[in-house]
Amino acid sequence: MVENLHAITGSMFSGKTDEVIRQANREMYAGKKLQAFYPAIDNRREKGVIQSHSGAKLDAEEVSAALDILKMVEKDTKVVVIDEVQFFDSNIVGVSETLLENDIKVILGGLPTDFRGMPFGSMPELLARSDKISRLTAICTHETDGIPCGKEATRTQRFVDGEPAKYTDPVVVIGAEEQYSPRCRDHHKVPGKPKSI
């Protein structure tokens, strides 16, 4: 029987990693052997753990390429957790499918869009293939006259020297609160972004 693919997604600061860890703890409480992985490019954390902004942690293995996950999964593993999926190469889609075909449940966490509001890496395809999606939102922190917006934030705003990053800026820049803020659609600004039509 093929296990299911559960994707947990949302803007930065929406609680994705907290939810990934919560789901992992549920699986381990049920007695299932679980292994967790994260991309080596994400150097915001202490080595050997998936860690949320709130401080929750889950033991995990660092990998440089998606295919390395298949080499590291142990024979009796029943659940694989992969955090920050958007940073992996496109092989992450096939890796996830292979795990499912081997009766291993897969729990993924990642950003659906980059700072420009564009599809990020393989996450959109993985969302399309998922059996279950937990879509989380943050709260927009944009302030007008010192008053926070407070709307549901579905976007991630990146800043360069205090100004919104331009559309032509590099897509992958590892950072946290010092460079990123959650934004609603109204307050998400990307200078130079081409018009849709």
DSSP 8-state code for residue 85: G
Please indicate, yes or no, whether residues 169 and 104 belong to a single structural domain of this protein: no
Residue 161: what pLDDT? 87
Please indicate, yes or no, whether residues 107 and 159 belong to a single structural domain of this protein: no
Annotated active-site residue 84? The verdict is: yes
pLDDT exceeding 70 applies to what percent of the chain? 94
Between the alpha carbon of residue 83 and those of residues 107, 123, 139, 152, 158, the distances in Å are 8, 11, 22, 23, 20
Please indicate, yes or no, whether residues 62 and 17 belong to a single structural domain of this protein: yes
Please indicate, yes or no, whether residues 62 and 156 belong to a single structural domain of this protein: no
pLDDT tens-digit readout, 71-117: 999 999 999 999 999 999 999 999 999 999 999 999 999 999 999 99
Please indicate, yes or no, whether residues 91 and 159 belong to a single structural domain of this protein: no
- Residue 189 belongs to a domain: no
pLDDT tens-digit readout, 137-186: 999 999 988 898 999 999 999 998 889 999 998 887 765 666 889 999 99
Please indicate, yes or no, whether residues 11 and 48 belong to a single structural domain of this protein: yes
Please indicate, yes or no, whether residues 150 and 85 belong to a single structural domain of this protein: no
Is 1's pLDDT higher than 60?
no
Residue corresponding to tokens 């006259």: 145
Choosing from 84, 101, 143, 177, the catalytic residue is 84
How many alpha carbons fall within 13 Å on the CB side of residue 194? 4
- Residue 46 belongs to a domain: yes
Return the CATH number at 170: 3.30.60.20
DSSP 8-state code for residue 113: B
Return the CATH number at 37: 3.40.50.300
Domain span at residue 165 reads 139-183
